[in-house]
Amino acid sequence: MSTSIYEYDVIVIGAGHAGTEAAAAAARLGAKTTLLTTSLDTVGQMSCNPAIGGVAKGQIVREIDALGGLMGKAIDATGIQFRMLNLRKGPAMHSPRAQADKKAYQHEIKRLIESQPGLDLRQETIEDLLVEQTADGPRIVGVSVRGGAEYRARAVVVTTGTFLRALMHTGEAQTPGGRAGEGTTTGISGALSKLGIELRRFKTGTPPRLNGRTIDYDRCELQPGDDDPRPFSFLNDTIAGVQLPCHITYTNEAVHELIRANLHRAPMYSGQIQSSGPRYCPSIEDKVVRFADKDRHQLFLEPEGRATHEVYVNGVSTSLPRDVQDAIFKLIPGLERAQIMRYGYAVEYDFAPPEQLWPSLETKVVRGLYLAGQINGTTGYEEAGGQGLLAGANAALAARGDEPLVLTRSEGYLGVLVDDLVTRGVDEPYRMFTSRAEYRLLLRHDNADRRLTPIADRVGLIDAERRDRFAAKLGEIARAMEVIESTKIDHETVARRLVRSEVDWPQVVAWCPELAAISPAAAEQVVNDVKYAGYVARQECDVERGRRLAEKRIPTSFDFTAIKQLRIEAREKLSRVRPLTLAQAARISGITPADLALVRVYLDG
């Protein structure tokens, strides 16, 4: 019996947030690409929170968009509430966030995938990864799928999310699956292990969903969206459509006492789950135990769409038994009569510790095999989407013999994300924070296009529309800077006056009426460039010092075990991570300046 064989340049496994960005990026670069998923009905599905963005995550979405990705366009088209967070802080901390119409977002992502030239979407279940031995070591050549067919390619991107040997927990009940109502994936875990890729276990969780018609919103606090919502995509100037409100309520001591009385039935505390979960997104059980001094915890009631009454209860992620979940809501103001439509649960799943990857997100043990998303130990749609875009782009670049796209820590939050993963690894599901970025004043959400769109253009990730819009924006900024630097008020340039904290753009326009037509996006850049020029210059000096250290390359074949003077711990860590530069070596936890000095001596020798 003959085997059906399909030929591609790039294969992407999994059509979640990482997989869709990976496949679209590879196709934009001209690679003949296929996206394989176990169900076409769940392409781009939001497994948990029906929202995009947030603190630091919003910056990532803007960076994905600046690189030509899908996420920003999709949320602009389907968002139901938009808010800019941290407006009372400086611009480096401003972070866009939007509630999504959950189903509309999913359908928009699928529409974008189906509309992408050079990309085939297929419903397939992966059985094995196909590898051949070469003079340079093992290389991926494709995948086999259920039914006996094979897909062949020069590069494969694995983006399986939480589905690898996934097990869901609600109280004592355990069900195989990576998402409610769906199954698990076992073949890929076995295939990765067979190739020598280490796998460990993490867990994540999701809250119950309530019927909004049974919520007493009069007993909750109203949380409206922004009056003038900001788009995520640099291709859009405005957000259309009426925004929907969210609401806030709180737990109380009665809720906490109920949870404490049932901790022995919670999988995380009964010993049923032993893997690590996201410390910065704890379950309600964890909150009650870890923050025992707090008499209440805030809960956000977030609508899941315009055409549904389903409400996501942000802040009460739980794997407690169903009867305890029922009892909890009867004690919360506004939710006493609320009906649970979907119960909360926890998911345990396999992930691959990311020190096994090069900064391109290619595995170190198999050439042409890339991993992206939660399989790398991250959490969140945004972190997954960013990794997917970079992995898909690098798979396509490798397929045509070009150098990989690797962003530095000073170029983007995506550079920070990947460097943190491959250099420091993870001991809990990784999520991005502004505090992780040492150059965060340079990495504002508003300038993501100025940082990354030229890079995207250079490798071929963007189209003519984005290129033209970006060029027009740069022209506006240049014209505005020329005007404010040449216009004087009482012998002082307008640019100099703009440095003062009390001077804003409307005042600048009053002095320079010819700037009234400048777009808000360009005006924002001018204001931030002028007001923060001194701080930015200092950070750029820091970047330059780091760049000099990064220029000292370390060959991939360098044998750290040969440096006998190195401490055993240093030899082990350097051999595991295999840093490509001295700068990357310096960021490995536990590596000292003395260790670096020894490595440098051997490199120079």
The reply to whether 488 and 533 lie within a common domain is: yes
Residue 1 has pLDDT above 60, yes or no: no
Q: What is the pLDDT of residue 275?
A: 67
Residue 179 has pLDDT above 70, yes or no: no
Interacting residues of 537 by C-beta distance below 8 A, sequence separation 6+: none
- In order, the DSSP letters of 316-365 are ------HHHHHHHHTTSTT-TTPPEEE--EEEEEEE--GGGB-TTSBBSS
3-class secondary structure, 504: coil
Residue 251 has pLDDT above 70, yes or no: yes
Average pLDDT over residues 24-38: 97
Interacting residues of 455 by C-beta distance below 8 A, sequence separation 6+: 67, 405, 407, 411
Tens of pLDDT, residue by residue over 211-226, are 999 999 999 999 999 9
Domain end (from 537, 564, 583): 537
Residue 86 has pLDDT above 60, yes or no: yes
Tens of pLDDT, residue by residue over 436-456, are 999 999 999 999 999 999 999
Residue 404 has pLDDT above 90, yes or no: yes
Query: Around Cβ 68, how many Cβ atoms within 10 Å?
Result: 27
The reply to whether 503 and 585 lie within a common domain is: no
Q: Is residue 558 part of a domain?
A: yes
Instruction: Measure the CA angle with vertex 432, ends 430 and 435; round to 5°.
Output: 120
Domain span including residue 500: 463-537
Residue-averaged pLDDT of the chain: 93
Q: What is the pLDDT of residue 559?
A: 93
Please tell me the distance from the alpha carbon of residue 549 to that of residue 530, in angstroms, as a whole number: 30
Residue 593 belongs to domain with CATH number: 1.10.150.570
Q: What is the pLDDT of residue 550?
A: 79
The reply to whether 342 and 213 lie within a common domain is: yes
Percentage of the residues of the chain whose pLDDT score is greater than 70: 96
Domain end (from 301, 325, 346): 346
The reply to whether 508 and 598 lie within a common domain is: no
Residue 497 belongs to domain with CATH number: 1.10.10.1800
pLDDT band at 474 (very low <50, low <70, confident <90, very high): very high
Q: Is residue 567 part of a domain?
A: yes
Q: Is residue 28 part of a domain?
A: no
The reply to whether 339 and 255 lie within a common domain is: yes
For residue 439, which of 545, 578, 581, 550 has the smallest C-alpha distance? 545
Residue 319 belongs to domain with CATH number: 2.40.30.260
For residue 29, which of 384, 457, 318 has the smallest C-alpha distance? 457
Q: What is the pLDDT of residue 182?
A: 62
The reply to whether 531 and 557 lie within a common domain is: no
Q: Is residue 231 part of a domain?
A: yes
Q: Is residue 298 part of a domain?
A: yes
For residue 597, which of 563, 573, 558 has the smallest C-alpha distance? 563
Q: Would you state the structure tokens that stand for residue 582, as one six-digit string? A: 């001295």
Domain end (from 478, 505, 537): 537
Average pLDDT over residues 62-67: 98
The reply to whether 568 and 503 lie within a common domain is: no
Q: What is the pLDDT of residue 53?
A: 97
E strands, 343-486, where?
345-351, 369-371
Q: What is the gyration radius of the CA atoms in the chain, in angstroms?
A: 25
The reply to whether 239 and 304 lie within a common domain is: yes
Average pLDDT over residues 50-56: 96
Q: What is the pLDDT of residue 180?
A: 65
3-class secondary structure, 577: helix
Average pLDDT over residues 5-29: 98
Q: What is the pLDDT of residue 187?
A: 79
Interacting residues of 188 by C-beta distance below 8 A, sequence separation 6+: 13, 126, 129, 158, 160, 164
For residue 476, which of 510, 512, 524 has the smallest C-alpha distance? 524
pLDDT band at 281 (very low <50, low <70, confident <90, very high): confident
Q: How far is CA 372 from the centre of its chain?
A: 10
Q: Record the pTM.
A: 0.94
The reply to whether 223 and 271 lie within a common domain is: yes
The reply to whether 555 and 532 lie within a common domain is: no
- 34 or 189, higher pLDDT: 34
Residue 280 has pLDDT above 80, yes or no: no
Q: What is the pLDDT of residue 548?
A: 79
Q: What is the pLDDT of residue 34?
A: 98
Average pLDDT over residues 240-261: 95
Tens of pLDDT, residue by residue over 286-341, are 899 989 999 999 999 999 999 999 999 999 999 899 999 999 999 999 999 999 99
For residue 433, which of 82, 47, 60, 65 has the smallest C-alpha distance? 60
Task: Report the half-sphere exposure of 8 (CA within 13 A, side-chain side).
Answer: 29
The reply to whether 324 and 226 lie within a common domain is: yes
Q: What is the pLDDT of residue 183?
A: 62
Q: Is residue 154 part of a domain?
A: no
Residue 542, phi then psi, degrees to nearest 5? -65, -40
Q: Is residue 183 part of a domain?
A: no
Please tell me the distance from the alpha carbon of residue 185 to that of residue 518, in angstroms, as a whole number: 52
Q: Is residue 559 part of a domain?
A: yes
Percentage of the residues of the chain whose pLDDT score is greater than 90: 82
The reply to whether 512 and 568 lie within a common domain is: no
Q: What's the number of domains the chain is made of?
A: 3
Q: What is the pLDDT of residue 112?
A: 98
pLDDT band at 99 (very low <50, low <70, confident <90, very high): very high
